[in-house]
């Protein structure tokens, strides 16, 4: 799926190694995936991006075949702050002090925190199909609670969600993606098998739940602190969302992001939630024009 790319494991800190696929040449570009996927979600756009950029596609900590730190009462190991620090360390290991960034879903949330904690690192960024985590929770109503009920299910105390998902990981993966309107056979077979193999790997389910527990706890603390301090994204920011997806139906995406960014542009893509897999040509065109 990634012709000309190299797959390897790179240590970014004590006990943390990331599965990373790299390819291409030119300015560095970091691609961050969402839940419950792996870096394989970029397979339709990464090869074209590699013609112009040095593309870096990692599995986030806890996801795919990257390290999965043990859970903790404060869920700090899965805070977006910790995940963002991984990405800064990864890019430094590869020789890149500054880079461009594209994030989807959970990866976009990591990217948001990275731009707040490390504003000197990101030259420009694109965030796909999200609004800030804090805004989701503060604006939550029936539509969000029913449509994104996995946010509340996965954040429940262990071992409740872990036990239910582990009973049939394939069913959970299909039902999770199906809620976003794609049919069971939508994903490329190689990509789906990577998602499923990762989900079945020891520690992944617990890590995903910890990610969502962090989102409902320590991440909100960090986000509120940043907002109170007046922190905003200062680099050029592109927000893309699926024209048939829920985020665009529930929110005025650019209006919300203008509260968080000083240099913003945005556009709807003719897709649902999985922009890079549902509408790769349109997504690629928007990214290339911006990046």
Question: Which residues does the annotation mark as catalytic?
Answer: 105, 273
Q: How many whole angstroms separate alpha carbon 238 and alpha carbon 15? A: 34
Residues linked to residue 19 through DSSP beta bridges, in sequence order: 9
Residues linked to residue 29 through DSSP beta bridges, in sequence order: 55, 100
Nearest to 130 by CA among 232, 253, 42, 212: 253
Assign 191 to helix, strand or coil. Answer: helix
User: 147: which 2 tokens?
Assistant: 């449509």
Q: Is 52 exposed, middle or buried (0-12, 13-18, 19+ CB in 10 A)?
A: middle
Question: Are 291 and 126 within 8 A, CB to CB?
Answer: yes
Question: Are 74 and 213 within 8 A, CB to CB?
Answer: no
User: 196: which 2 tokens?
Assistant: 């499923």
* Residue whose tokens read 């970029």: 42
Phi and psi, residue 112, nearest 5°: -60, -50
């Amino acid at each position: 799926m990634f012709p000309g790319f190299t797959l390897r494991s790179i240590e970014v800190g004590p006990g943390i190694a990331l599965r990373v696929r790299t390819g291409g040449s030119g300015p560095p570009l970091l691609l961050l995936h969402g839940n419950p996927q792996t870096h394989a979600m970029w397979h339709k756009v990464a090869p074209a991006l590699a013609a112009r950029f040095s593309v870096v596609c990692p599995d986030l900590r806890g996801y795919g075949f990257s390290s999965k730190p043990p859970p903790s009462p404060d869920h700090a190991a899965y805070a977006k702050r910790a995940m963002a620090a991984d990405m800064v360390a990864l890019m430094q290991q590869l020789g890149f002090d500054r880079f461009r960034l594209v994030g989807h879903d959970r990866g976009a949330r990591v990217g948001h925190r990275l731009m707040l904690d490390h504003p000197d690192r990101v030259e420009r960024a694109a965030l796909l199909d999200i609004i800030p985590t804090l805004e989701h929770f503060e604006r939550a109503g029936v539509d969000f609670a029913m449509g994104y009920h996995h946010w509340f299910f996965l954040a429940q105390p262990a071992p409740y969600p872990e036990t239910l998902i582990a009973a049939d990981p394939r069913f959970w993966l299909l039902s999770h993606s199906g809620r976003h309107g794609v049919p069971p056979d939508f994903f490329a077979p190689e990509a789906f098998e990577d998602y499923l193999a990762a989900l079945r790997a020891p520690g992944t389910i617990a890590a995903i739940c910890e990610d969502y527990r962090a989102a409902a706890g320590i991440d909100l603390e960090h986000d509120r602190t940043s907002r109170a301090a007046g922190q905003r994204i200062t680099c050029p920011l592109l927000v893309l969302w699926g024209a048939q997806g829920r985020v665009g139906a529930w929110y005025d995406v650019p209006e919300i992001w203008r509260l968080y960014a000083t240099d913003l542009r945005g556009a709807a893509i003719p897709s649902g939630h999985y922009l890079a897999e549902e509408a790769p040509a349109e997504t690629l065109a928007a990214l290339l024009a911006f990046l």
